[in-house]
């Protein structure tokens, strides 16, 4: 029997964008079954964690009254626990209780509320999670937003899906969140583009070779709004209670989990170069900071 490895490309719609999977496998692979499994995996994450779906498990939690114990699915529970871990480790730079800020500045599913709610209550202080009972309870009004971690988790779910089907060489991704395992058939690593942080167009800044690692990028160039003659990024600064104002254009983080890479990229973006670089070194993260200096871009790499 031939053991020749073929290249397969699968994709589908999710989270307002598309997922992609490039994989190496022998001839005769049931691509329809694997494509359906990948679609089911990302649909499950969207169904649980979307802020655009009023019936998602996350939105049920947001709507629940304070003090009520609410059962949540395993995946959402794990993402909430992981989000609070990164929040505490980053000194609150990564914060999921920014839903009202997101809405106020027009980045959510509803039109801008027109008011500025100020600094949010920290989820790590007001959200009780019971992993044993798989229940969650709010001790203060919280509007949670998982857009800084859920997409990375969905990429990890795609990886788990492929591995469950015996695929051990792949590159999966949703937008700039990617995870690679193994190598291509010719023995080379998977190559991904690092996007130039320019608003309104897609350009390549450079390329990275990936194998057995994930990468996620946070930046100010993909989603922004104009308000009061100012440009606001979708990344919220929890300490300031407003959109982040920084000369950092983007931060890309590499680690084994795309979920953690996603959350840490947001945290380092909020912290800025100096504090972010120091934290990345303490956490053992690989990171690429891209700064705007006038009309020029400058890259600073940590741990690579």
What is the reported pTM?
0.92
pLDDT tens across 138-188, in order? Answer: 999 999 999 999 999 999 999 999 999 999 999 999 988 999 999 998 899
- Alpha-carbon gap, residue 164 to 172, rounded angstroms: 14
User: What pLDDT sits at residue 242?
Assistant: 86
Q: What is the CATH number of domain 53-138?
A: 1.10.3980.10
Region of 106 (left: φ > 0; alpha: ψ -120 to 50; beta: rest) is: left
pLDDT tens across 22-59, in order? Answer: 999 999 899 999 999 999 999 999 999 999 899 999 99
Report the 10 Å Cβ neighbour count for 36. Answer: 13
Q: Which helix (H) or strand (E) holds 137?
A: strand 135-138
DSSP 231-292: EEES-EETTTTEE---SEEEEEEEES-HHHHHHHHHHHHHHHHHHHHHHHHHHT-EEEEEEE
Q: How confident is the model at residue 231 (pLDDT cuts 50, 70, 90)?
A: low
- Nearby residues of 191 by Cβ (< 8 Å), 6 or more positions away: 207, 208, 209, 210
Burial class (CB in 10 A: 0-12, 13-18, 19+), 211: middle
Under 8 Å between Cβ of 209 and 191: yes
DSSP 172-192: EEETTEEEEES--TTSPPEEE
User: What pLDDT sits at residue 192?
Assistant: 93
> pLDDT averaged over the chain?
90
- Alpha-carbon gap, residue 192 to 102, rounded angstroms: 30
- Which of 169, 162, 219, 194 is closest to 42 using CA atoms? 162
For the chain, give every domain's residue range: 53-138
Supply 41's token pair.
């995996």
Q: Where does the chain have alpha helices with state H?
A: 31-49, 57-63, 74-89, 99-104, 123-126, 150-164, 258-283
């Amino acid at each position: 029997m031939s053991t020749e490895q073929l290249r397969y490309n699968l994709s589908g719609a999710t989270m307002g964008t598309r997922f992609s999977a490039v994989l190496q496998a022998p001839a005769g692979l049931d691509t329809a079954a694997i494509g359906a499994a990948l679609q089911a995996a990302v649909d499950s994450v969207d169904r649980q964690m979307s802020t655009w779906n009023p019936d998602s498990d996350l939105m049920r939690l947001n709507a629940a009254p304070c003090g009520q114990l609410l059962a949540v699915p395993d995946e959402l529970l794990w993402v909430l626990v992981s989000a609070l871990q990164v929040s505490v480790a980053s000194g609150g730079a990564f914060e999921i209780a920014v839903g009202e800020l997101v809405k106020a500045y027009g980045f959510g599913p509803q039109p801008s509320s027109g008011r500025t709610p100020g600094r949010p209550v920290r989820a790590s202080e007001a959200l009780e999670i019971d992993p044993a009972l798989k229940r969650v309870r709010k001790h203060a009004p919280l509007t949670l937003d998982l857009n800084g971690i859920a997409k990375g988790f969905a990429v990890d779910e795609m990886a788990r899906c492929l591995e469950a089907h015996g695929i051990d060489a792949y590159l999966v991704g949703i937008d700039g969140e990617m995870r690679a395992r193994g190598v291509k058939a010719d023995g080379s690593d998977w190559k991904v583009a690092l996007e130039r942080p320019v608003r309104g167009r897609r350009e390549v800044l450079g390329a990275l070779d990936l194998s057995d690692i994930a990468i996620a990028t946070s930046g100010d160039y993909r989603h922004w709004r104009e308000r009061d003659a100012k440009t606001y990024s979708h990344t919220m600064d929890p300490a300031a209670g407003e959109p982040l104002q920084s000369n950092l254009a983007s931060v890309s983080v590499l680690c084994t989990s795309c979920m953690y890479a996603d959350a840490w990229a947001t945290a380092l973006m909020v912290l800025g170069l100096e504090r972010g670089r120091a934290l990345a070194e303490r956490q053992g993260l690989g990171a690429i900071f891209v700064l705007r200096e006038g009309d020029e871009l400058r890259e600073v790499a940590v741990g690579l």
